[in-house]
Amino acid sequence: MSQPLILDGKALAKIIEDSLRPRVETYKRKNGGRVPVLAAILVGGDPASATYVKMKGNACSRIGMDSRKINLPETATTAELLAEIDRCNEDPLVHGILLQHPVPRQIDERAAFDAIAPEKDVDGVTCLGFGRMAMGEPAYGSATPAGIMKIIEHYEIPVEGRRAVVVGRSPILGKPLALMLLNRNATVTICHSRTQNLADVVRQADIVVGAVGRPKFIQGGWIRPGAVVIDAGYHPGGVGDIDLEAAVQRCSAYTPVPGGVGPMTIAMLLSQTMDAAEKRFAR
């Protein structure tokens, strides 16, 4: 088989960032020097979460947007977090709100996500946004699955009528991605920890998505020859949820780890914050 196509999320993310820079400039010119603002709320001191928030702030700076970092202590209550989200909802200078997942255990994360105003839900985490997206209504998609769909679109991967198998059903990744693929007329199967004969299900797939959170969990031998392989996982040592070394021997296209899905998550967050700012301005 010929070499598989590399679905280069890093390069695509750069194209998206480059396209956002002039939009920020135009926005700034029309708004008396003000730029779009993303409020990033971090609860507690988890180092990985702190790094993600920092990376998102850096990405905002790269394209000329502002980010406002809001740090709540590890001991913060749901009420305190809700009050903070409310302040951001009410603040006309904030266009997008990101609540970094996961939050400490004492906090009702679902209540916190759902407190984000729909027009500022640029990370696509509210139930309302999810429902609208599922119904094909305008909504900001959950950032990682939206990034995966952007990769699929950019590389013109055929989706309609294809069998897509999504391994993982988390609210921020597997579940919304499955619905996005369904909305593009794929025949979608969602797998999870109770799925039986997972290998056989994956073998049916024209498009396989690994969103499991376990390093190299999906074996190369499960991949149908010619399938498109999307690996959303990221683990220490730079491996994903799919055994890519083995999968590349069989697939027709794949997202590398790193440099595939990861950079697209941030690009979508920026892009949706830009959209939110422009929509506010248009009102």
> Is 272 in the active site?
no
Burial class of residue 235 in the structure, from the number of CB atoms within 10 Å of its CB (0-12 exposed, 13-18 middle, 19+ buried): middle
Nearest to 218 by CA among 183, 185, 174, 186: 174
**Residues 124, 269: Cα–Cα separation, whole Å:** 9
At closest approach, how far in Å is the CB of 97 from ligand NAP? 17
Catalytic residue from among 114, 121, 123, 231: 123
* Residue with Cβ nearer ligand NAP (184 or 216): 216
169 interacts with ligand NAP by CB under 6 A: yes
Nearest to 58 by CA among 274, 270, 272: 270
Nearest to 66 by CA among 94, 100, 98, 30: 94
| DSSP for 103-164, written as a single string | PPTTS-HHHHHHTS-GGG-TT--SHHHHHHHHTT-S-PPPHHHHHHHHHHHHTT---TT-EE
Residue type (1 letter), 143: A
Site string for ligand NAP, 14-53 (x = CB under 6 A): ----------------------------------------
- What's the token pair of residue 138? 């305008």
Stated length of the chain? 283
* Residue with Cβ nearer ligand NAP (163 or 235): 235
Q: Spell out the residues 6+ positions from residue 203 whose beta carbon is closer than 8 angstroms to its own.
A: 222, 223, 224
* Segment 209 to 238, residues that bind ligand NAP, using CB under 6 A: 211-213, 232-234
Taking CB under 6 A as the criterion, the residue among 60, 81, 172, 209 binding ligand NAP is 172
> Is 56 in the active site?
yes
* Residue with Cβ nearer ligand NAP (170 or 187): 170
| DSSP for 155-198, written as a single string | TT---TT-EEEEE---TTTHHHHHHHHHHTT-EEEEE-TT-SSH
Considering only the stretches 19-27, 87-95, 151-159, 165-173, report the one whose residues sit in contact with ligand NAP under the rule CB under 6 A: 165-173
* Residue with Cβ nearer ligand NAP (27 or 266): 266
271 interacts with ligand NAP by CB under 6 A: no
At closest approach, how far in Å is the CB of 214 from ligand NAP? 6
At closest approach, how far in Å is the CB of 111 from ligand NAP? 18
* Residue with Cβ nearer ligand NAP (56 or 95): 56
> Is 106 in the active site?
no
* Residue with Cβ nearer ligand NAP (29 or 194): 194
Nearest to 116 by CA among 138, 134, 142: 142
Q: How many residues bind ligand NAP (CB under 6 A)?
A: 24
63 interacts with ligand NAP by CB under 6 A: no
The residue ranges that bind ligand NAP (CB under 6 A) are 144, 167-170, 172-174, 191-195, 198, 211-213, 232-234, 241, 261-262, 265
Residues identified as active-site: 56, 100, 123
